[in-house]
Amino acid sequence: MTTSEHTGRIFDVRRFSTHDGGGIRTTVFFKGCPLRCAWCHNPEGIDFGRRPLWFAGKCIGCGSCAEAARFGGVRRTETGIAVDPAAEEDWDAILDACPTGALRWDSRDVRVDDLMELIRRDMPFYAHGGGGATLSGGDPLMQADFARELLLRCREEGVHTAIETELHAPEEAVQAVLPLVDLIYADLKLLDGGLHRHWTGVGNERILSNLEALLTGPLSERLILRTPLIPEITATEENLRAIAAWLARRNSAVRWELLNYNPLAAAKYPLVGREYSLQENLPRFSAEQMEAFAELARSAGVKNVFFE
C-alpha cells in the first residue's frame, strides 16, 4: 500500500451520507470554487483561503477570545462576538483560547493518508447498496493534484468513487482526474453565456467545452448532468429548453437530474461574512411542478430526465 504526504484543504467530511453516488457515502468537501453562484448552498467552500468562524450557539460569553486578540480581530459587542478575519492576529492562539469551540477554522489541511483512514473506517458499510467515497466542494478540480492522488488511493483499495464538479477547470485537470472516477456529477446551470456570467460570476465557455468532451467521449456512461432549479433564474422554460436542445444534439441519452431549489442555504451566509443576494424564503417546487420541468426537458429531446 502506498503512502503520501500530499496535502489538500477541505472544509468538511460527511460520513454515512446517503446522497451523491449511491449507497452509504463518505463525502469529502474540498475548499475552493471558481464560481460565485448567487444561490450557492455551500458558501463556506467558495474561497480557498482559511478564515475563523464564530458559532453563537456554542459561545458562553467568557471573552477569552477577545482577551487573546491583540489587533482587533475579535471583540465583544452587545449582540455577541464580532470577528474581523482580515486582522493580522495569531488566530491559532485565539481559537485555542476558546473553551467551547465556538471559534474555529472554517477548513483544515489534510493528507491523503488522513482521509484514507476515515474512508477505511466506513468501508464495511459500502457493501450495502454500492457505497463509496464522494469528492464534493467547492470544486475538487481546483485541487486537481490532491483529488487525483486521493482517487488513485481509493481505486487501489477498491473503493467506488464519485465527484461533484462545475467543470470550470483547465482541460488538463479534467483529463487527469475524471477518468479515475466511477461516477461524475457535473453541473450545467445556464446555457446563455451572459446570464451564466451574471449569476455565477464566470462565463460558461470552458464548462460547455469540457462537458461536450464528456458527452461525446468514453466517460459519457459515468456522467450525470445536474441543473439546480432556481426560481426565475435557471427554472425557466427558455433555459431548460435551451439546455435540452444543446444536450440532445450531443448525447440525447445522457442522464439529466433536475434539482429542486434549496431554501436553507441563506442561513449560512452571515456565518462566512457574505450576503445572500436572492429573495429569502422562496418555496421549493411541488412534485407537479418538478414533473412539468422534466417533461419539458424530455419534449426537447433528452430521454433520461429525472428529479429528486
Q: Which of 216, 222, 224 is nearest to 248 (CA)?
A: 216
User: Residues with Cβ < 8 Å from 103, sequence gap 6 or more?
Assistant: 52, 53, 54, 55, 65, 74, 81, 83, 94, 95
Round to whole Å and give the CA distance between 38 and 23.
Answer: 31
**pLDDT of res. 210:** 98
Round to whole Å and give the CA distance between 44 and 76.
Answer: 23
CA R_g for the chain? 21
Cβ atoms of 112 and 140 within 8 Å: the answer is no
Strand partners of residue 10: 30, 108
Show the beta-strand stretches assigned E in the chain: 7-17, 25-30, 52-54, 74-77, 80-83, 103-105, 108-111, 132-137, 161-165, 183-187, 223-228, 255-259, 304-307
Average pLDDT per 10 consecutive residues for the chain, totaling 308 residues: 73 91 95 96 93 90 94 91 92 96 95 96 90 97 98 97 98 98 98 98 98 98 97 97 98 97 85 84 92 96 93
Strand order in the sheet with 161-165: 108-111, 7-17, 25-30, 132-137, 161-165, 183-187, 223-228, 255-259, 304-307
**pLDDT of res. 4:** 54
User: Residues with Cβ < 8 Å from 251, sequence gap 6 or more?
Assistant: 215, 216, 220
Question: Could you please report the per-residue DSSP string of 114-160?
Answer: HHHHHHHHHHHHHTTTT-EEEEEES-GGGGHHHHHHHHHHHHHTT--
Residue carrying C-alpha cell 435540452: 244
Cis peptide before 73 (omega within 30 of 0): no
Cβ atoms of 269 and 277 within 8 Å: the answer is no
**pLDDT of res. 282:** 86
**pLDDT of res. 1:** 46
**pLDDT of res. 30:** 98
